[in-house]
Amino acid sequence: MPKQLFLKIFFGFWFVTVAQTAAILVLPKMLDSSLKVDPKLNAYHQKVAKTLQKSTNLDKTVKRLQHKMRPPHYLKKRIIKKRGRLDSIFVVNENNIGLKGERIPKDIYLALIQLEDKPKQRYFHYKRWGVYGPYKFEHGGQTYSLFIRDFEHKHRSQILNFLKENPWIVLAIAMIISAVICGLLAWHLSRPIRSLDRSAKRLAQGDLTARADKLALRYHDEIGQLAKSFNEMADSVQSMVNGQQRLLGDISHEIRTPLTRLQLANAIHRRQFGDNEELMRIEQETETIDKMLNQLLALSRSTLADEHPFEHTDFSFFMEDIIDNARFEAHQAQVELVNTIAPSLTVSVQWDSLASAIENIIRNAIRYAKQRVDFSAYQDADNLIINIVDDGCGVDDDHLNNLFTPFYRVSTSRDRKTGGTGLGLAIAHEAVKRHKGSIVASNNEQGGLTVTISLPLTSHTRGSSN
């Protein structure tokens, strides 16, 4: 496959470089050429100078030529405003004084000054017109200089002369053009990359359905190939994860059969020979394995696609049975459960999965609390915030980010002695993620652990709050 991305970058910057170089080399010549006099026009002006040179009465000849070369009709108003000073031709002597000793007009005076720096220049451009000259001629033993004003054709070089007088504008135009070209190239290249970045972040956050969109796929260069490779990788990752979860579920089902036989055999042996320490130990371990299998199956179902529908419900109503069961367990553990739920909070839930997630977290909090567990739910902007706080010993900060990893355990009082398997929080994490929410754990300043769940509220709740 040709390296089209390389070619885009190369030719883009190459074009900008060539354009700027051409502007630097060509524009000064264009500006200089704008001040050159057309050969035919120059010949005409020389002819006018010879006419003055051959004349017997210079003053009358000048007036006759001024009448003959008078400006067009549409310029008469401008000449009237200038009080007749804008004659088409003007003659000065060797001392730069007019024929009748009159004051030299400003434009002619400026042309004479510029001639000192550029003696070969024969055209001078000003705001409203241009001046041709000087054209030397002899008359009566004296040397005169002829200047001819150009009222009608000043627009021919007005822009170029303006650029010549303001070189910083040329530089600004070149910079703007190059910035626009480079900006378009950067936008063209970065647009699909940003799209791929969003897809990669979604995949990293656990959304196995994330894929590169059509924007990136329609590019026929390395970026388009990268998008296709990303989709192939995402397909493989989703297939492996789903296969792993199905295998986990299948293994759990297969283990349940011999486990059931073991429990049955243990029960028969106890009935025949009575209880002893070894049989009680076997029963305890089989119950632990059975609980772990149930949680593995729940984790597998929560990770794979679930066909259970979402339904809108009031959160207080949703929590009634969960809080009642939690109060009973808290009473048995001699722990106080304080419940605070704001009214009129409507959420969209998969009933079983979210109920199981919150039950697991509350049960953990009761198990590790010393005296009290606080459950609260309130609205924050467009989200429902749920806090479950216990006053236990908490968790080392190094372990907080891994609490929701399956089978992850910490080497504190939160160990297997409490009956945990390391799967409850993982199941809760998957359930919350399915509800497009987030779950985090943090230590309290006074001791203990806080688990915070954030869930999106329905539009009905958001509208009523507004």
Phi, psi of 3 (to 5 degrees): -80, 80
CATH 3.30.450.160 domain position(s) in the chain? 35-156
pLDDT > 60? residue 34: no
What is the reported pTM?
A: 0.48
Q: What is the pLDDT of residues 103-127, one digit of tens each?
A: 778 878 888 888 887 777 777 777 6
User: Quick one: average pLDDT of 15-38?
Assistant: 66
Phi, psi of 136 (to 5 degrees): -80, 145
Q: Checking DSSP bridges between strand 336-341 and strand 372-380, what pairing results, if any?
A: parallel
| pLDDT, position 1 | 43
Please give, one letter per residue, the 3-state secondary structure of 373-387.
Answer: EEEEEEEECCEEEEE
Which pair of tokens denotes residue 127? 């705001």
Q: Strand, coil or helix: what is 338?
A: strand
Q: Which of 387, 385, 383 is nearest to 456 (CA)?
A: 383
pLDDT > 60? residue 465: no
Does the annotation count 253 as an active-site position? yes
Confidence of residue 66 (pLDDT cuts 50, 70, 90): confident
DSSP H helix total and E strand total for the chain? 14, 11
Cis (ω within 30 of 0) for the bond into 28? Answer: no
| pLDDT, position 115 | 81
Catalytic residue among 67, 188, 220, 253: 253
423 in Cβ contact with 447 (< 8 Å): no
User: Quick one: average pLDDT of 310-321?
Assistant: 90
Proportion of the chain above pLDDT 70, given as a percent: 77
Q: What is the pLDDT of residues 220-270, one digit of tens each?
A: 778 888 888 988 898 888 888 777 767 766 666 677 677 777 878 878 877
Strand partners, 253: none
Q: Which of 58, 64, 60, 61 is nearest to 140 (CA)?
A: 58
Which pair of tokens denotes residue 87? 């004659």
Confidence of residue 24 (pLDDT cuts 50, 70, 90): low
Separation between Cα atoms, residue 69 and residue 437, nearest integer Å: 86
pLDDT > 60? residue 414: no
DSSP 103: P
Separation between Cα atoms, residue 416 and residue 413, nearest integer Å: 9
Distances (CA, A) of 318 to 313, 323, 352: 7, 9, 10
pLDDT > 90? residue 336: yes
**For residue 306, which amino acid is it?**
D
pLDDT > 80? residue 196: yes
| pLDDT, position 160 | 59
Q: Which CATH class is domain 235-303?
A: mainly alpha
| pLDDT, position 286 | 80
Q: What is the pLDDT of residues 95-107, one digit of tens each?
A: 888 877 777 788 7
Q: 29-38, 128-137, 257-266, 425-434: which range is least confident on average?
A: 29-38
CATH 3.30.565.10 domain position(s) in the chain? 311-465
Neighbours of 68 (CB within 10 A): 10
Phi, psi of 312 (to 5 degrees): -80, 135
| pLDDT, position 84 | 44
| pLDDT, position 78 | 53
Cis (ω within 30 of 0) for the bond into 309? Answer: no
Q: Which CATH class is domain 35-156?
A: alpha beta
Fold of the 311-465 domain: Heat Shock Protein 90 (3.30.565)
Q: Strand, coil or helix: what is 324?
A: helix
| pLDDT, position 420 | 55
| pLDDT, position 373 | 94
DSSP 98: B
